[in-house]
C-alpha cells in the first residue's frame, strides 16, 4: 500500500466521478420536483452563528448537545459572548428561516416556497447510512397555516421518491405535536407521569427523560412499553385549533390519494416542530426504512426576531436515499443513461506516429469547436495500438485516425468502434458526419 499520508476526515468521503452519476441524478430530480410545485432555490451559508442552532433546535437536543462542528470566531477571540463561535450547519431549516427574516419577507411577501440542496455537518460516529458530512435536500414553505400546505409538502416528498423509482410501498406516517403551548403542557404531563417510574425503566429511558421525554413513548423494551401504557395522551391537552388543523391535514392527504398512516410514535428530535410532523417510509428497507422527515414550525421565524410567521417543510438525506436506491436496484438504467454517457468520449483522435501528434491536437480542437463532444486524445506518446485500446476502454463511439497520408490529403479515417467499420473523409466533413450518425442512431 502507498505510504499512509493523508486521508479524508472521518465520516467524509470523496465523491468520485463514478459516484457522482447517482448523486447528480438525485440533485436534478430534487430540483425538478421542487420547481414543479413552485419552490425556488435558496442558498444560505454553510456555517452560522452557533446561537442560531442552539436557539432553534434546543439546547438539549442530541444535535446541539453533542453533534455540532463548532469553530471559534477570530474576531471574538478573548471576548465573552454568544457570538464567539460559528457552527457548520447540522440541518437546513434554521439558516433558511434566518434568511427569511433578514430578507424582510414577512412584511413584503410573506408566502415563500423555497428549496435547498447542499452539505450538512454533524459530529457523529459514522456508520452505515450516516456520515459527518452529508447532502440534504429540503424545502420550506413560509407564510401560511393552511393544512393544504402541509399536505402539499408531504406530496412533494413522496413525488421525489416516486420520481426516483420507489414504488407503491411508500408510506406516509404522520402525527401532530400540537401548538407549542399544547406541547409544553404535554411535556409536563409526561414528566409528572414518568418521573416516579424512572427507576424501573431502562437506562436509555432514564437519559431520554432529561433530553426528550417524548422518546419514552416509543421505547421498545417490553417492560418500558408496559409502563408507558397509561401515559398521558396529547389528545387530552391538544387545543381545538391544532386538532382541527390535524384533521384537515389528514383529509387533504386523502384528497390527493396519499393515504396517511397515523403514528403517534413519530416524535421529531428537534424542538421547533409544532402541529404536523411526518416521515416517509419504505417498510421493506427494514431498520433504515425512514427516507425523510419534516413538519410544521410555526414559532421559528418569530424565535429569530421576525414577525410571527408559520412554516412547514421537510428534509431528506442523500446518504440513506442512495443506499436505499442501491438496495432496491434503482434507479432504472435509462434514468441515468445521459449522465453515464457524459463520462464516455464521443470521439478519440489518434495519431499513427509522433509526427501526427500536432495534427491530432489541432483536429481535436477543431471538432470541439464544431460542436462534437466530448473529444479526447492521448498525451502520453502511446502507440496507435495502445490509443485504440484506450479509446475502446473509455467507451468512445468513434476513433479518428490520422497518419502521414491523411495529414497530407487533409482527410481522416473515422472508425466506428462498435461496428469496427472505417470510412475516410475530408477533415472538414467529420463533424457533420458524426452528428448525423449520432442522430440517426438515437
User: What residues line the site for RNA (CB under 7 A)?
Assistant: 1-4, 7, 10-11, 62-63, 91, 122, 124-132, 134, 136, 204, 207-208, 212, 215, 220, 267-270, 287-288, 290-293, 315-317, 319-320, 352, 382-386, 388-393, 399, 401-406, 413, 415, 417-420, 422
Please tell me the distance from the alpha carbon of residue 305 to that of residue 325, in angstroms, as a whole number. 40
d(CA 205, CA 78): 40
Beta bridge partner(s), residue 175: 277
- Grid cell listed for 295: 413538519
Residues 6 or more apart whose Cβ sits within 8 Å of residue 424 = 406, 411, 412, 413, 414
Within 10 angstroms of residue 56's Cβ, the number of other Cβ atoms is: 23
Cβ atoms of 347 and 375 within 8 Å: the answer is yes
> Least Å distance between CB 307 and RNA?
26
87 in the Ramachandran plot: left (φ > 0), alpha (ψ -120 to 50) or beta?
beta
Q: Which is nearer to RNA, 82 or 207 (CB)?
A: 207
CB of 388 to RNA, least distance (A): 3
CB count within 10 Å of CB 438 equals: 13
Decide whether 106 or 277 has the Cβ nearer to RNA.
Answer: 277
Nearer to RNA, 76 or 123 (CB): 123
Q: Which of 90, 42, 10 is closest to 269 using CA atoms?
A: 90
State yes or no: cis peptide before 374, omega within 30 of 0.
Answer: yes
- Distance of closest approach, residue 236 Cβ to RNA, in angstroms: 23
Closest by Cα among 154, 165, 282, 177 to 234: 177
CA 330-28-114 angle, to 5 degrees, is: 125
CB of 72 to RNA, least distance (A): 19
Q: Nearest distance from residue 49's CB to RNA, in Å?
A: 21
Residue closer to RNA (CB basis): 212 or 309: 212
User: In the bound complex, what is the minimum distance in angstroms from residue 194's beta carbon to RNA?
Assistant: 13
Q: Which is nearer to RNA, 2 or 442 (CB)?
A: 2
Adjacent-strand bridge partners of 195 = none
Nearer to RNA, 182 or 356 (CB): 356
Cβ proximity to RNA: between 81 and 420 the closer is: 420
CB of 7 to RNA, least distance (A): 6
Nearest CA among 346, 349, 339, 341 for reference residue 397: 346
Q: How far is the CB of 120 from RNA (least distance, A)?
A: 7
- The least CB distance from residue 244 to RNA, in Å, is 26
CB of 74 to RNA, least distance (A): 26
Q: Angle, to 10 degrees, between the axis of helix 180-194 and the axis of helix 203-211?
A: 150
For RNA, give the closer residue by CB, 127 or 333: 127
Return the C-alpha cell found at 170.
411508500
CA 441 → CA 171, 397, 413, distances in Å? 41, 11, 20
Q: How far is the CB of 128 from RNA (least distance, A)?
A: 3
Cα gap 224→217, rounded to integer Å? 9
Residue among 242 and 292 whose Cβ is closer to RNA: 292
Q: For residues 106 and 219, which CB has a smaller minimum distance to RNA in the complex?
A: 219
Q: Which residues contact 339 (CB under 8 A, 6 or more apart)?
A: 21, 24, 25
Our CB check for RNA shows the closer of 293 and 306 to be 293
**Strand ranges of the sheet holding 347-351, from the earlier edge strand across to the other edge:** 375-377, 347-351, 398-402, 411-416, 421-426
Rounded to 5 degrees, what are φ and ψ at 331?
A: -80, 165
Amino acid at each position: 500500500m502507498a505510504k499512509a499520508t493523508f486521508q479524508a476526515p472521518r465520516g467524509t468521503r470523496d465523491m468520485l466521478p463514478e459516484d457522482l452519476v447517482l448523486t447528480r441524478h438525485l440533485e436534478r430530480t430534487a430540483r425538478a420536483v421542487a420547481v414543479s410545485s413552485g419552490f425556488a432555490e435558496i442558498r444560505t451559508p454553510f456555517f452560522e452563528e452557533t446561537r442560531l442552532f442552539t436557539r432553534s433546535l434546543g439546547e438539549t437536543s442530541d444535535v446541539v448537545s453533542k453533534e455540532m462542528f463548532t469553530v471559534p470566531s477570530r474576531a471574538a477571540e478573548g471576548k465573552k459572548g454568544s457570538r464567539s463561535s460559528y457552527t457548520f450547519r447540522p440541518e437546513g431549516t434554521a439558516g433558511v428561516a434566518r434568511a427569511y427574516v433578514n430578507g424582510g419577507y414577512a412584511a413584503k411577501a410573506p408566502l415563500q416556497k423555497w428549496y435547498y440542496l447542499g452539505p450538512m455537518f454533524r459530529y457523529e460516529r459514522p456508520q452505515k447510512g450516516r456520515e459527518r458530512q452529508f447532502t440534504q435536500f429540503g424545502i420550506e414553505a413560509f407564510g401560511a397555516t393552511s393544512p393544504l400546505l402541509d399536505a402539499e409538502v408531504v406530496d412533494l416528498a413522496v413525488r421525489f421518491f416516486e420520481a426516483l423509482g420507489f414504488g407503491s410501498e411508500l408510506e406516509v406516517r404522520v402525527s401532530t405535536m400540537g401548538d407549542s403551548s399544547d406541547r409544553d403542557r404535554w411535556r409536563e404531563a409526561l414528566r409528572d407521569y414518568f418521573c416516579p417510574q424512572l427507576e424501573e425503566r431502562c437506562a436509555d429511558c432514564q437519559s431520554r427523560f432529561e433530553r426528550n421525554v417524548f422518546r419514552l413513548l416509543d421505547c421498545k423494551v417490553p417492560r418500558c412499553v408496559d409502563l408507558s401504557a397509561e401515559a398521558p395522551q396529547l389528545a387530552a391537552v391538544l387545543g381545538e385549533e391544532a386538532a382541527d388543523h390535524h384533521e384537515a391535514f389528514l383529509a387533504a392527504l386523502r384528497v390527493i390519494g396519499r393515504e396517511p398512516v397515523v403514528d403517534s410514535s413519530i416524535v421529531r428530535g428537534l424542538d421547533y416542530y409544532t402541529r404536523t410532523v411526518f416521515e416517509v417510509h419504505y417498510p421493506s428497507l427494514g431498520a433504515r426504512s425512514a427516507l425523510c422527515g419534516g413538519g410544521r414550525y410555526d414559532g421559528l421565524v418569530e424565535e429569530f426576531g421576525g414577525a410571527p410567521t408559520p412554516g412547514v417543510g421537510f428534509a431528506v438525506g442523500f446518504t440513506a436515499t442512495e443506499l436505499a436506491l442501491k438496495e432496491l436496484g434503482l434507479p432504472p438504467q435509462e434514468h441515468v443513461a445521459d449522465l453515464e454517457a457524459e463520462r464516455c468520449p464521443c470521439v478519440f483522435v489518434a495519431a499513427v506516429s509522433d509526427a501526427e501528434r500536432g495534427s491530432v491536437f489541432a483536429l481535436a480542437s477543431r471538432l470541439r469547436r464544431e460542436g462534437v463532444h466530448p473529444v479526447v486524445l492521448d498525451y502520453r506518446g502511446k502507440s496507435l495500438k495502445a490509443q485504440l485500446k484506450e479509446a475502446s476502454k473509455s467507451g468512445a463511439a468513434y476513433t479518428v485516425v490520422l497518419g502521414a497520408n491523411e495529414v497530407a490529403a487533409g482527410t481522416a479515417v473515422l472508425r466506428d468502434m462498435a461496428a469496427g467499420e472505417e470510412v475516410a473523409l475530408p477533415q472538414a466533413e467529420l463533424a457533420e458526419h458524426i452528428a448525423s450518425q449520432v442522430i440517426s442512431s438515437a
